């Protein structure tokens, strides 16, 4: 068995792939055996950290998103920048607190939520990003109590669960119960980031009863930073700017 094969057998895959370059560098710099081993260890730690980050990003289902540096803080009429920037430091994870973003369409609440989630991934935490519709469709599709419990554990497991777009659809009793179950399983144990286009006072309009809405809200806000963003849609502004530019082009 060659040295490269032995390294792979021990799980030192990166060192095995870089073996020729490693030996040449060690000879050139006249490293001692200890220095060679230290370099191999450093290579493996760096490579495993990179792969771990890539795996966490893949499992998070974040997809593409704009970085928070691109967010126009001057556009909203009302925004608590200090609360959002605090959430981006992900300190709320230590106390299993929640972050709830309340805003109309087009003001960047999903963008902010994805940036919070990304910061958690970079910090080494497990994260799952999902829309409320996707999660409930998944849970409702389970055909047995065992498979449903398995999927509920799937949503309870990550250190941070981000549920996007609560309030865009009305929920029947089944959906309300499942959403309540997910939130209850995480309550006071793990953090949640939730975005909604509705103020809490409007939640009874989308849930089957005021009681179910109240029960959900009670658990969500007990340990939570709730922040509202008010203003006009970014997307509408961009669409209007594009239309104006097109009209100027035609006039020219």
16-25, 109-118, 155-164: segment of lowest average pLDDT: 16-25
The verdict on 83 and 121 lying in the same domain is yes
CA–CA separation, 59 and 187 (whole Å): 22
For residue 232, what are the domain limits? 68-236
Question: Average per-residue pLDDT in the chain?
Answer: 90
Residues 6+ apart with CB under 8 A from 243: none
For residue range 150-194, what is the model confidence (pLDDT) as tens digits? Answer: 999 999 999 999 999 998 888 999 999 999 999 999 999 999 999
Instruction: Check whether residue 86 and residue 205 sit in a common domain.
Output: yes
- Is residue 249 situated within a structural domain? no
Contact 203, 109 (CB under 8 A): no
Report how far residue 119's alpha carbon sits from residue 32's, in angstroms, rounded to the nearest whole number.
Answer: 39
Residues 15 and 87 in one domain: no
Whether residues 97 and 169 share a domain: the answer is: yes
Give me the DSSP letters along 16-48. Answer: HHTHHHHHHHHHHHT--HHHHHHHHHHHHHHHH
Q: Does a structural domain hold residue 140?
A: yes
Q: Is residue 161 in a domain? A: yes
Give yes or no: residues 87 and 207 share one domain.
Answer: yes
User: Whose CA is closest to 112, among 54, 195, 168?
Assistant: 195
Residue 252, domain member (yes or no) = no
The answer to whether residue 241 sits within a structural domain is no
Residues 129 and 225 in one domain: yes
Size of the chain in residues? 252
Residue 26 covered by a domain = yes
Q: Has residue 53 been placed in a domain?
A: yes
Between CA 23 and CA 31 the distance in angstroms is 10
Q: Does 75 share its domain with 178?
A: yes
CA 29 from centre of chain: 44
Highest mean pLDDT among 28-37, 133-142, 241-250: 133-142
Specify whether 48 is located in the same domain as 77. no
The whole-model pTM stands at 0.84
Q: Tell whether the model's pLDDT for residue 100 goes beyond 80.
A: yes
117 and 208 co-located in one domain: yes
Question: 30 with 119, same domain?
Answer: no
Q: What gap in Å lies between CA 158 and CA 156, rounded to an integer? A: 6
Are residues 212 and 145 located together in one domain of the fold?
yes
Question: At residue 148, does pLDDT exceed 90?
Answer: yes
Count of domains forming the chain: 2
Domain-located, residue 245:
no
pLDDT tens digits, residue range 85-97?
999 999 999 999 9
pLDDT score recorded for residue 250: 64
* Predicted confidence band of residue 134 (pLDDT cuts 50, 70, 90): very high
Paired strand residues for 192: 98, 161
Question: Cβ contacts of residue 141 below 8 Å, gap of 6+?
Answer: none
Mapping DSSP to helix (H, G, I), strand (E, B) and coil, where does residue 131 land? strand
Are 41 and 89 part of one and the same domain?
Answer: no
Last residue of a domain, one of 60, 76, 92: 60
Q: What is the CATH number of the domain that holds 85?
A: 3.40.50.300
């Amino acid at each position: 068995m060659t040295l490269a094969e032995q390294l792979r057998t021990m799980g030192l895959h990166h060192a095995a792939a870089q073996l020729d370059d490693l030996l040449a560098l060690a000879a050139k710099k006249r490293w001692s055996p200890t220095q060679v081993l230290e370099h191999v260890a450093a290579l493996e730690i760096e490579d495993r950290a990179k792969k771990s980050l890539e795996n966490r990003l893949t499992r998070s289902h974040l997809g593409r998103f704009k970085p928070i540096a691109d967010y126009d803080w001057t556009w909203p009429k009302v925004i608590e920048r200090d609360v959002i920037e605090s959430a981006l430091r992900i300190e709320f994870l230590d106390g299993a607190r929640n972050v709830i973003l309340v805003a109309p369409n087009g003001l960047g609440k999903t963008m902010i939520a994805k940036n919070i989630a990304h910061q958690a991934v970079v910090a080494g935490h497990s994260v799952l990003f999902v829309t409320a519709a996707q999660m409930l469709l998944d849970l409702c599709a389970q055909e047995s109590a065992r498979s449903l419990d398995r999927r509920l554990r799937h949503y309870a497991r990550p250190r941070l669960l981000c549920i996007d777009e609560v309030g865009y659809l009305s929920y029947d009793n089944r959906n309300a119960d499942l959403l309540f179950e997910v939130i209850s399983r995480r309550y006071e144990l793990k953090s949640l980031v939730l975005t909604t286009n509705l103020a809490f006072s409007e939640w009874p309009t989308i849930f089957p009863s005021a009681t179910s809405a109240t029960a959900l809200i009670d658990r969500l806000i007990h340990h939570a930073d709730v922040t509202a963003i008010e203003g006009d849609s970014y997307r509408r502004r961009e669409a209007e700017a594009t239309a104006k530019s097109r009209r100027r082009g035609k006039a020219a």
